[in-house]
Structure 1
Amino acid sequence: MDRNSVTWRGYIPAITTPFDAELRFDEKMLEDLLLWLQGEGMHGIVLAGTTGEWFSLTADERTALFRKAGSVLGGKLPLLAGCNAFTPNESIGYARAAKEHGFDGILLTPPPYVVPTDDEIVAFYRTVNDAIDLPICVYNWPPGTGVDLSLDVLKRIVALDKVVAVKNSTGDMGRFIECFFGLKDQVRYYGVPTNEFGASLYTHHAADGMIGSGAVLGRDHPAFFDCLDRGQLDEALACGEKDRILMTDWFTAGYRPRFGTVQALMKEALNAQGLPGGYPRPPVLPIADEGKKAIRDTLSRLGRSV
């Protein structure tokens, strides 16, 4: 497998996992959310990623999440399963469940909290790679894992036969550029900024798009890439500006939320628009009133109904 083995491109959001007021996984809310995202033109969806609160899902719940998503959108949009875990055997089990329920690939960070060495990281990916039958997107997420994958380490990982993509979430544009140009001929590379620079990368250098968070602005997110595909640069930049306002208002340059946590923030943004966000599950707490007001102010400024 390589970058040409998959067709993943454009805007692929890592979505929230809806819990009800009793903090139970709500399959009906998930179905409603998935159908809304499909209708808004998403180019694919990630389940059980960072935004999806994978860390508070039991193994049975994560499997149920994959089962429901596969039954709703399997074969209709590319589906990537978040298979993050502390051990390779856990990740392998989740990947096999994703395969059973019609997913197209997996998204995988190095083990969080552990802060493994470079050799341990490569061995982790190799073990998962050799045991599964789905394409792998490597997820470089230093705030959550404590490690930032260098170009040298990524080159070792993308040499594995199932690795087809890399999601860059470092917040470091220099690192993004270094790794993008170092790897783009081998794997798809995500993290394109929604500005003129990102438009140039996508249009002239075959950048693949963005695996973003939440998709709370609906159609405006994928429209950046759709407009570029049609040669409509001004329209693309207008959509991209909305995404960048959201990111500036709600996040620091290092992708850390300005209030609350990203999971609660995205759920509140959905709830504020009458969409199925639901409640966060501890240790994540709901957004406080000051944060709720800031979220609503941004959404109002961007023309979203609140």
Structure 2
Amino acid sequence: MSEVMFNGVLPALVTPFREGAVDEAAFTALVERQIGGGVHGLVPVGTTGETSTLSHDEHRRVVELCVKTAAGRVPVIAGAGSNATAEAIELARHAKAVGADAALIVTPYYNRPSQEGLYAHYAAINEAVQIPVLVYNVPARTSVDISNATLARLSRLPNIVGIKDATGDMVRASEQRLLCGPDWVMLSGDDPTALGYIAHGGHGCISVTSNVAPDLCAAFYNAALAGDGKTALYWQDRLVRLHRALFSDASPAPTKFALAHLGLCREDVRLPIAPASEASRQTVLEALREAGVI
């Protein structure tokens, strides 16, 4: 496997809340727990971080806090997406200014741009900010799907370095690797299929499950990236029900419930996300037991 800028498991960090505000102490402790568990990087203010309901000031503060707490021990890829190109540029500039190692920028949602519009969006960010950018493709949430052909064009720009691919499409991964070349960073955004994604040439995963079980996820990715298929499959089997359980209700409500059960933060979410249902809670608890987390 070629050396790339980012690999392994990078948690898509939750943003803990307390009494309606960001719980900075809990967030710092969660970051320390992730690093102690052996993760390979950190991703604040992504989808799992409820970025869509954070104010701009809160968004910036969480990125700053993550960078400060990580203190260079692992890279920080800061969420900086928006469906307005100018706003994405502003967030990416802030990420660079506070010392983030890269920006994760989702395909513009709601607008439903064409492939040419998508290319122009990322090309504008590439020109405006000198920071490595990962494209985040999650058509189930954005209603737009960036094509491999467009990614191949973007891969030729100096600051567009890779992708977080949440499609679960393995054939797409192989074709994309051939089109974009060996230096293109390929991170899965789908925990259950990440083992297959790595087998198709991927380099790791921006993971929801790592919030709950960083040490187990790190062991899985260390095995998978080392080519130890037997050990990787052991961890896959141990974690797969937990991967599913954390999406048994609107994310990140089940993940925050799991973290609250572990005593790591409150389970507070922001509307329109509601707390995990009772059925989801039972599913999460069963999966935590099966994985050996509790």
Scaled by the length of structure 1, the TM-score of the pair is: 0.88
Moved over 6 A (4+): none
CA RMSD of aligned residues (A): 2.0
Question: Secondary structure at the residue paired with 1:164?
Answer: strand
Q: Contact 1:266–1:277 (CA<8 Å) still a contact in 2?
A: no
Q: 2:234 aligns with which of 238, 251, 274?
A: 238
- In structure 1, runs of 5+ residues without a counterpart are 251-256
- Partner amino acid, structure 2, of 1:213: V
Match of 2:87 in 1: 90
Distance verdict in 2 for CA 1:199–1:178, change over 3 Å = closer
Unaligned runs of 5+ in 2: none
2:177 is matched with which residue? 180
Matches within 5 A, 1:1-306: 7-20=5-18, 22-191=19-188, 193-195=193-195, 197-198=196-197, 200-201=199-200, 205=201, 207-215=202-210, 216-228=212-224, 232-250=228-246, 257-258=247-248, 260-276=249-265, 278-305=267-294
Contact 2:170 2:197 in 1 (8 A): no
Q: Which secondary structure state, in structure 2, belongs to the residue aligned with residue 45 of structure 1?
A: coil
Q: Deviations over 1:158-198 (max 9, x none)?
A: 22210111111012223233223332424111128454x55
Instruction: Count residues in correspondence.
Output: 289
Identical positions, percent: 29
The CA deviation string for residues 79-129 of structure 1, in whole angstroms up to 9 with x for no partner, is: 001011121111111112111221100001111111111111111111111
Question: Is the 2:10–2:207 contact (alpha carbons within 8 Å) kept by the matching residues of 1?
Answer: yes
Deviation of 1:232 (Å): 4.0
Q: Could you tell me which amino acid in structure 1 is paired with residue 270 of structure 2?
A: R
CA distance in 2, matches of 1:272, 1:78: 28
Query: What code does the residue aligned with 2:284 have?
Result: I
Aligned equivalents of 1:199, 1:128: Cα separation in 2? 28
Counterpart of 1:78, as a letter, is P
- Residues 289 and 105 of structure 1, relative CA distance in 2, 3 Å threshold: same
Give the 3-state SS of the residue equivalent to 1:8 in structure 2. Answer: coil
Distance 1:277 1:7, change over 3 A: farther
Inter-CA distance 199–124: structure 2 relative to 1 (3 Å threshold):
closer
Distance 1:199 1:95 in 2: 28
Partner amino acid, structure 2, of 1:285: A
* TM score, norm. by length of structure 2: 0.91
Cα distance in structure 1, aligned partners of 2:280 and 2:250:
11
Letter in 2 for 1:110: T
Partners of 2:287 and 2:46 in 1: how far apart? 24
Q: Distance in 1 between matches of 2:198 and 2:109?
A: 32
Write the letter of the residue equivalent to 1:43. H
CA contact (8 A) 1:13 1:213 kept: yes
**1:254 corresponds to which residue?**
none
